[in-house]
Amino acid sequence: MPVIELDVEVLCSLIGERMPPEDLVKAISELGADVEGVKGRTITVEFFPDRPDLLSAEGVARALRAFLGIEPGLRTYSLAPPAAELSVDPGVLPIRGCVECVDVRGVRLDDDLLKRLMEMQEDLHWALGRDRKKVAIGVHDPSKTTPPYTYRAARPDEIRFEPLAMPGAELTLGEILEKHPKGREYAHILEGFDRYPVILDSKGRVLSMPPIINGELTKLTERTTALFVEMTGTDERAVGKAMNILCAAFAEHGWRLSKVNVKYPDRTVETPNMEPQTRRLSVAYANRMLGLTLTPAEIKTCLEKTGYGVETDGDELLIKVPPYRADILHHIDIVEDVAIGYGYGNFRPELPPLSTTGRRLPEDARMRKARSAMLGLGFTEVVTLMLSNEEDNYRKMGLSGNAVKIQNPISEEQTIVRTHLLPGLLGVLYLNRHRELPQRIFETGDVLRLDPESETGARRERRLAACIIHHRANFSEAKSIFNALLRDLQIKGKVKAVKHPSFIPGRCAGIEGRGYFGELHPQVLTNFGLEYPAAALEIML
């Protein structure tokens, strides 16, 4: 989860009241964050990734002002009519077809605020932008540009400009992808396109090459007094929410915001849209979810402490959701904020009204027996994540295939549900490669396999995997463990040679449909950064 550092002086300045660090820590914890520590005048806080609006001192201060009763309720934002215009060329729409802009005046920057602005930009790239794939942000000093602006696609060799951090070096768009550090890092986003996005002013000067790099021309300095912010991406909602979060942070400093006319080929849109979203919440539903008996007025107070605008309407509440909240997708998300406003410390734990006796599920019997057998054989049990990625799950193992994919993964390391256990064990061995050998580890757990005949399109399989690594690990060692498991679990079947891409040819065997064992292929070991031979097995329970 994202971790940010909050300066107590800056935070108090934004809140508008001086508060001792211990009071700030208590209030931030009650918002649902994990305070990792306080060092001097710095508070280190870990927030959930679904609250990108809290990944800055400005966002935390805004939330605390509402929560502490200093400024409860909905914060409204007044934007001046469009002060600039950006035209979108049809050729850029298939590449990065969503764009929003805002013009900001009355800006006052110092070195610390400039650094925090850059950090907020990168946090939004991570939290909402999926490392710039869905959202990329460009913040510019417009004093050296002449509107109106144009957003279009250009050939790799058509345009040259000085990219940020390389003053004096004019590069083509194609050269930036090859030579600039940011170009090499994010070139994969534009892979497969023969044209690249650029934003130009009316004189053809380059502001940025989204989603790669800004131009040196519009670099921010402490003398900057105005900002032109452009956000491009592939997800209209994500672009809009990222823009609203940034604009709400600007408003905390009293900077003046003006809309920008974004002219698409078929329509003109005024951006950003900082109007709150309206939802209805049933009082009975909220109480049922929380196990409380709050009145509409009490729920209204709770929600105002978390920044909502609320009006009572009989047994329902008419709720205005702040425009910077990207996490409100369902009524239950609002109920969670009712709980925060009520105070988690005010909930009274109660025993369930029914008296029941728990017992283990029958299907766990073999797993328990397998775990006991492995411990008896001298193995150490580990637990790894069910979520994996195609690189570890398939390519590093020399395999290919399809897995259950996560629709909105929080990171590139957790994009699918694992289909086998061995990659997780090899990852554990990599993390412990500095420890003495031999190492003998195992795991029992679930994997998910695609199955079109299943009701959900996938089926769960319970498996056991084990791995041994030392300078003489071999096929015979894996075979002896495999046979011991067959005996202890009373699994019958004929063991015969098996071809498996993860194992050395001729040194892999198993029972068809039940499991396999052998010596891992040297390339697999290299892929996982391991330097010694390893033997492994995986068996269905």
What tokens appear for 68 in the block? 């502490």
Q: Would you say residue 88 has pLDDT above 90?
A: yes
CATH 3.30.930.10 fits 364-540, yes or no: yes
Q: In this structure, what token pair is assigned to residue 117?
A: 């602005």
- Whether the Cβ atoms of residue 471 and residue 533 lie closer than 8 Å to each other: yes
- The pLDDT assigned to 441 comes to 96
Q: Where are the alpha helices (DSSP H) in 34-133?
A: 57-67, 93-96, 111-127
Q: Is residue 285 predicted with pLDDT exceeding 70?
A: yes
In this structure, are residues 161 and 206 in contact, taking their beta carbons and an 8 Å threshold? yes
User: Which CATH number describes the domain made up of 277-343?
Assistant: 3.30.56.10
pLDDT tens-digit profile of 440-491?
Answer: 999 999 999 998 888 888 999 999 999 999 999 999 999 999 999 999 888 8
Residue 227 CA to residue 143 CA, distance in Å, equals: 9
- Are 274 and 310 in contact by the 8 Å Cβ rule? The answer is no
Q: How many CA atoms lie within 13 A of 457 on its CB side?
A: 4
DSSP-derived 3-state class of residue 433 = coil
Give the long-range contacts of residues 350-357, CB within 8 A, separation 24 or more.
350/291
Evaluated on CA atoms 66, 71, 73, 74, the torsion sign reads negative
Of 405, 366, 408, which is closest to residue 389 (Cα–Cα)? 405
Helix 8-15 with 21-30: angle, nearest 10 deg = 70
Among the four given CATH numbers 3.30.56.10, 1.10.490.10, 3.20.20.70, 3.40.50.2300, the one describing domain 3-67: 3.30.56.10
Helices (H), 128-210: 173-179, 181-186
User: Across the chain, what does the average pLDDT equal?
Assistant: 93
Q: What is the DSSP letter of 388?
A: E
**Gap between the Cα atoms of 467 and 517, Å rounded:** 10
Per-residue model confidence as pLDDT tens digits over 29-79? 999 888 988 888 899 998 888 899 999 999 999 999 999 999 999 999 999
Mean pLDDT is lowest, of 32-36, 315-319, 348-352, 379-383, for 348-352
207-236 pLDDT, tens digit per residue, is 999 999 999 999 999 999 999 999 999 999
* Extents of the domains making up the chain: 3-67, 80-271, 277-343, 364-540
Superfamily of domain 80-271: Phenylalanyl-trna Synthetase, Chain B, domain 3 (3.50.40.10)
CATH topology identical between 80-271 and 364-540: no
- Taking residue 42's Cβ as centre, other Cβ atoms within 10 Å add up to 14
| pLDDT above 70 (res 141) | yes
